[in-house]
Structures are given as C-alpha cells and as structure tokens.
Structure 1
Amino acid sequence: MRLSDRDPQVGADELVDAMVPPPRFDDVSFDSYIPNPDEPSQAAAVKACQAFVERVGARKKRWSLFGRSEDEGKPGLYLDGGFGVGKTHLLASIWHSVPGPKAYGTFVEVTNLVGVLGFVEAVKRLSEHRLLAIDEFELDDPGDTMLVTRLLKELTAAGVFVAATSNTLPDKLGEGRFAAADFLREIQTVSAKFDVVRVDGPDYRHRGLPDAPPPMSDGELTTRAESMPGATLDDFDELCAALARIHPSRYGRLVDGVTAVHLRDVKAAPDQAVALRLVAFGDRLYDRDVPVAVSGRPLSDLFSEEMLRGGYRKKYLRAVSRLVALSRPS
C-alpha cells in the first residue's frame, strides 16, 4: 500500500464534525499531565489552564453590539514554549474539561475550514461554540495574518473563548517569515486577545532515550513493510509530490488506518515548501502515533542547516523531535 496512491477527501460538514483532539490525546487530562519538578512553569501552567476552564465554564452567552465587557478579562489563553513540554496535552485537557459546543483543530485546519466554508459561514458556525482550541498557532504569511485577525475579532466578540499553543510569543508571530512589520497592527490585535502562559522545560520525548535508529537498507525496509498488515511503503520523492497535491488539512485522513509508514531513499527537503509540508505530515503521524521507518538519510537530516537557521527553525526542530520519537522501536 502506498500513501502516494491515496486521494483523501473531507466534506465541509465533516470538517466541522472532525474538529476534536487527535487520537493520541483522546484520554488526556490535567491529572495525567506530570509536571517536571525542575520546571516550575509547568505546574503553574496547569493551574492557569484550570482557571481558564473555570472561566469558560462559568461564561453566560451574552450578545452585545459592544462585544465582551471589560470585567470578563481576555478571551484567550496562549500556551507558549518549546517543543516537547506538553502544550498540546494541556490544550486537549482544556478541551475535554469544557462543556460543548466546542471545536479543536490545528492552525492549518482552522484556516482551511474558513477557506472551504467561506468566512461568513465559518464565523456563523464557530460563533455557536463556547471554546475554540487551536494547536500549533502560527502566522506564516500575510493572508493568514489578516484572516486570523478578523476571525478572532468576530468570534471573541460573539463570546467564544480561544485557547492556543505555539512555539512563538504572540507579539513575535510572523517574525523572520514575511514583512511582519507591515502587519504590526494586525499582529498586535491578535496578541491582545490572549493571556500568555509560558511552559518551559526539555523535550520529554527524548529524556534519557537513545538517538534515532540508523536508516535501514532498501531491502530491509521493503521486507519490514511487507510483513506488517496495514503498513505503507513509498519512495520519499513520490510522497513529497503527493503531499503537494493534497491540502495539509487532509493529511490526517491520508494516514487513517495506517499501522506504520515506510519511506525509501529519504533525503533533505529540497526547498521550504516541501519542508513545511513534511512538518504538517509529521504532525499528523505523531497525532496518530504511527511508527516511521526509513532508508537513505536519517530523519534528523530532513532539514538543511540553512533551513534550521531561518524563520521556521522551531517548526523544523519540532518535526524532527516527533519523527525521531516515532522511529524508535516500541
């Protein structure tokens, strides 16, 4: 079975219904989040998230021409920190703790929802929710910046609370990626919606664990893939071409039912566009806890040193962290 032969489709209504935490985070809670005793910000973040949940739960829907009253505080909570500190665990715990209606999605899934439904219809549907949780919040281009500014303004005015995770402080969004200074007002508008909670610490996925296993030979990789029911085997270049024709919001559907992914002749991403698609693809594999095995270059070499020095450095490091974790023998 090859991922590059698949053509996943997701309808508009299904997009809305599917806005729930990914399978990896089906059963998480604040109780199952174990703060690192050496990082006090983690325990403090749990308390901040629980306080936010209480505010959301106590909210009474109020429609007003003037939006939210001042005494209600900021409508958003923004979890900022490095990769592997449990921000997504905390975001999903918020979602599970809040009564519905509610929606959860990655940043790219939320922006795609607006693209599919249209802005007015997306606002209409999401305005009926008590909470919108956005994972991997990032402004990668001017279009996203303008869209998200308008969306958050409309939703928070309608009484929707927003919780988000990111590797970048809200007033630094877009930095190093486009002419962010030209959109400073929009970025500041987004930032003003959130109380920022810092979550520090080392990447839990790699505490005391060995490095990723070395790549297999092509023959070993093929034998392994053929021995596993539900596994896929793709040439790396062909998978990259397939990811280019599939919207990133459908990458989750692409790997539904897959038990393991095998990639032959892995090499460094040739350009930024391919690299960012691989980040989104890796995130969906991690969400679903799908093991990964490769031949060619190791997964730690997916992104060049030049890319790792650029504006998407944090995204690339997060992707490497997650993919290496998936490549370790269980």
Structure 2
Amino acid sequence: MPSLPPITAPARELEARILRNIEDHEVSPDTQQKRLISILSSAAASRFSDEHHGAYIYGPPGRGKTLIINALVASSPRQTTARFHFHEFFQNLNSPKNRVPGQRLGAIFSQGLERELKGLKILVFDEFHCTEPGDAMLMVRLVKYCAEHSIFLVATSNYEPDRLLDDDAFHHLVQPTIASIRENFTVFELDGSVDYRTLAVDGEACDRGYRAGTLSVGVTAEPSTARREMIRIGYDEIGPAYVADESIWIGFDQLCGTRRNTADYLELVRRFTRWHITAVPATRDLPMDEERRLANVLDIFYDRDIELHLYTADGLEHLGSSLHDTERDRLASRLAQLQFIELERMGL
C-alpha cells in the first residue's frame, strides 16, 4: 500500500465539505468514520499518481461506507466525478442497446468503458465485489483502464481485497486486481461494532424510499384498483402483475422463481417507484438460485432507494443460509431496515 498523501489545503477543504454534507443528513460521524473521511479527503484531493491509484474501503454492512462515498461524490466536481453501483455499471456496458451486430464482447466492453468514463478524474464504485469468473475479468479490465487513463478509483466492498472471488477454482482470475489494490491503493477497513442500518430512525426518515417499505408476515396483498398485465422486458415478458400508476404488485415466483437476471431487475425498477412482492415462500428450503435472485433484488432496491413491500410466509430468518457469510450479513442488514409487520400484531 502506498504511503498516505500529505494533508494539503485542498484536502482540508474537501474534508470540510464531506463533513458538512454528512451533517446535513443529520448524521454525526463516529471516530473511525472521521479518520476515514480525513484519509479519503487527502487521497482524493491528491488525485491519481503513478504510486497512488485509488482507495479501497471495506468492512461489514451498515458501517457508513456508502454514506461517506456519497458525500465525497457530492463534494467533488460534478463534471469529472461519477458514482456507480457494481451491478448497474457492468449491465449497462453489456446492454444489447449498445451493441453493434457481429461485434465482439471484448470490443463492446472496451468501447463502453471509453463511453462511460470519458472525462472522469474520480470514479466511485459502491459494492465492489465479484462472485463469478465473468465478474473477475470485468473487474481486472476496469482497474487496468482507470490506471491507464489516470482515473482515481474509490471502491467500497464488504470483502477485504484478498477475499474477492473467494473460490479456489477461480481466485487466480482476480489476483492481478488484488495485487494492484494492495500495491497502489489506500486500503481502509471500516469495521465499527455498530450496524447503523439496524438502529431505529425517526418517522420522517421512514416516510420515503427503501425505509418506507415493509416486511409483512402472513399478510396477503391484493390491490383494490389495478390493471392486470404482462410486463415487457426486451423480447420477453414477466407477470402477470398488477399495475397502478407507479406501483406494481408481482408474485415472488414471477420475479425470482424464473431465470431473471440483474439486467431485468434494473430495467423494472426504472419503471416503478413502489413495489409489492407477494407470496414469498418460507425460506428454510428456498433453492439457492432463488435466494440469490432475491438477494440481488434487495441490493438493487436498496441502492436505488426504492420503496419495497414484501409479503412473506415467514420472517425471512433463514434467508441466505446457503450463501456466503458476507452476503448473508448484507441481506440481514437490508431486511432490518424494513418495517416488520406480523399478522397477529395487526390483530387479524
């Protein structure tokens, strides 16, 4: 890991802007978060150099990583700074709308990087991780591209660098990226004992977005006024679903029980702002592929701050039992922010 850049006047100014942005959200950073803000400000203000390519921030869910990098983005020049979520960025690069007939996938990816990252000085990636060999290959090319074009890369992750693609059969694919991170990035572990997402929030914070959502056990959701229709996705359809303005009611089987992927979910959340996913089965024996799809849904809805209501057969206490510990912890953190409603508590 390179030595930390000096604390300069621009670094102090950036740190002050980040702290003001966080305080505007009525959050008081703890000691460890303040230390990260100071280090990140010095690194980002110094920008890219031959020795210093970026910052890699990792730790358990809910410790404030996303809050801090969002404040960094808001405090940096808009024209030369961009923030992406891992899923959305790579799905956008590989979208059929950006392909030329007969074009090789590698060429599509290279041209996509040029298109999306043109003119950037700071690139921020939230939820930087890979669970499949394909992710690893894309990650290697992204890190290399940023180094070649002097783009300062800031990444957050639930995984320490050495645990990216933690699979003995494929780990070698991501080793060049790990080596680059260890050698050229400031690496910071934000591992405070408190998961802030699990703490109670005031009523106003629960009135909008993801935290306005609910997890209802034993409750049936049937819209009183909505039209029943199939939802077109590319050349395919999903449904049937019930739609009313920007609200949608759709069954778990339609959304997670079929071969849907992240690109499908990203397309759907662009169309509807309030979601009701009904008939979520008991999670003790949920197939792994369906678990992973639901995990992807929760990640995307959380990142997009989309209002989500789940209607379940149990409290989802067994969700993630077949997934990696880190993925399971992230799921628990996401679910803890939904308001819990149980049939007996409703007096029904």
Q: TM-score, normalised by structure 1?
A: 0.72
2:134 is aligned with 1:153: no
- Contact 1:231–1:262 at 8 Å: present in 2 too? no
Aligned counterpart in structure 1 of residue 262 of structure 2, from 210, 224, 248: 248
1:111 CA displacement: 2.3
Q: CA deviation at 1:148?
A: 1.4
For 2:113 and 2:138, how far apart are their aligned partners in 1? Answer: 11
Query: Which structure is higher in RCO with an 8 Å CA cutoff and minimum separation 6?
Result: 1
TM superposition shift of 1:224: 8.4
Mapped to 1, the partners of 2:24 and 2:37 lie a distance apart of 11
Name the larger-Rg structure: 2
Shift of the 180–159 alpha-carbon distance from structure 1 to 2, 3 Å rule, reads same
Task: Confirm whether residue 109 of structure 1 aligns to residue 99 of structure 2.
Answer: no
- Higher share in helix: 1
Q: 2-side partners of 1:86 and 1:170: how far apart?
A: 18
The question of 1:297 aligning with 2:297 is answered no
Aligned residue type for 1:206: T
The whole-number CA distance in structure 1 between the counterparts of 2:280 and 2:137 is 39
| Residues 266, 298 of structure 1: 8 Å contact kept | no
Residues in 2 aligned to 1:128 and 1:274: alpha-carbon distance in whole angstroms: 39
The one of 21, 28, 34 equivalent to 1:29 is: 21
**Post-superposition offset of 1:284:** 2.1
Counterpart check, 1:207 vs 2:199: yes
Cα gap change, 1:90 to 1:235, in 2 (>3 Å): same
The residue correspondences of 1:93-172 to structure 2 (distance < 5 A) are 93-99=71-77, 100-116=79-95, 117=98, 118-125=108-115, 126-172=117-163
Residue 21 of structure 2 aligns to a residue in which SS? coil
Cα root mean square deviation, aligned: 3.0
Contact 1:107 1:137 in 2 (8 A): yes
* Pairwise CA distance, 1:41: 1.5
Q: Which runs of 5+ in 2 are unaligned?
A: 1-19, 99-107, 202-213, 227-243, 342-348
Relative distance call for 1:112 and 1:46 in structure 2 (3 A) is same
Question: Are 2:165 and 2:171, in contact at CA under 8 Å, matched by a contact in 1?
Answer: yes
* 3-state SS in 1 of match to 2:155: strand
Higher strand share: 2
Asked if 2 retains the 8 angstrom alpha-carbon contact of 1:261 and 1:293, the reply is yes
In the TM superposition, what are the counterparts of 1:1-330 in structure 2 within 5 Å? 29-32=21-24, 34-35=27-28, 37=30, 40-56=31-47, 68-70=49-51, 74-99=52-77, 100-116=79-95, 117=98, 118-125=108-115, 126-176=117-167, 178-181=169-172, 183-201=174-192, 202-207=194-199, 215-218=217-220, 221-222=221-222, 230-241=246-257, 244-245=259-260, 247-256=261-270, 257-268=272-283, 270-286=286-302, 287-304=304-321, 307-308=322-323, 312-328=324-340
Equivalent residue of 2:134, what SS? Answer: helix
Q: 2:274 corresponds to which letter in structure 1?
A: T
Aligned mates of 1:29, 1:215 — CA distance in 2: 37
